[in-house]
Structure 1
Amino acid sequence: MSTDQAGTPNNYLKAIRLINIEENKCAFEIGKIPIRQHINANYFFAQTDVSTLEKIPHPAPRRQYVITLKGKLRFTVSNGDTFIIEPGIVLIANDTAGEGHTWEIVGGNEWERIYIPLEDNTNDYFMAD
């Protein structure tokens, strides 16, 4: 279990959620998800390839958790705002329509990640800060 700066137990993981907003544009929210929360998912898969969608605008192919194991990335949403994803921050991809987002690797050339697709209508347990 992780602890905060004061040494007290932290019952949450840092998370950033990609979302669709008006006119199918993409934005993001910063927040957290509770640890030890069961998620309704039937499978997961790992990926290391970075050549296919880097720097190309795209929506998420499905609602899913993206767990970064190795690498540091800058994501950019429709209005140009950016955020960094690295190990320890869970990405929740809910921007399944419209323009989507772009990403690029910063500080290296690898991105190892696990995708956990969420079943339809499953709660993603995200809590905005």
Structure 2
Amino acid sequence: MNTDQAGTPNNYLKAIRLINIEEDKCTFEIGKIPIRQHINANYFFAQTDVSALEKIPHPAPRRQYVITLKGKLRFTVSSGETFIIEPGIVLIANDTAGDGHTWEIVDGNEWERIYIPLDEGTDDYFIAD
């Protein structure tokens, strides 16, 4: 089986999932999602604005996939731990309570992304490493 540079088999995409833990704190898990997996979603939308929430703590407004098309960002969770999101890494925003997370652009000044809201009760197909 071939693997990409990150060591993820070709039938998976690298993913990071934001989640709530005790006291509505936010943390993250690193893992993957299978390719060619049907996701039960009704719509998606694109966004390019970066002024609204950059560096401001916030929870996800809903469970959703966030697909970065352009940009490199550092996300920070409640503990102060950070991770990087860039094209090729799927973010699953599942931290819908509490203070949530912050993000900031670390390379350039653009973040083009697509949001795919997940229907209530839909599996996000995330597999933790």
TM-score, with length taken from structure 1: 0.95
Residue of structure 1 equivalent to 2:87: 87
Gaps of 5+ in 2: none
Separation of aligned partners in 1, 2:113 and 2:10: 23
Counterpart amino acid of residue 92 in structure 1: I
Q: Distance in 1 between matches of 2:13 and 2:127?
A: 10
Q: What secondary structure sits across from 2:110 in the alignment?
A: coil
Structure number with higher strand proportion: 2
> Between the two proteins, what is the percent identity of the paired residues?
90
Shift of 1:125: 0.1
Cα displacement string for residues 64-115 of structure 1 (whole angstroms, at most 9, x for unaligned residues): 0000000000000000000000000000000000010000000100000000
**TM-score normalised according to structure 2 size:** 0.95
Q: Which runs of 4+ in 1 moved over 6 A?
A: none
Amino acid at match of 1:13: L
Which residue is 1:58 aligned to? 58
- The one-letter code sitting in structure 2 at the alignment partner of 1:34 is P
Aligned residues: 126
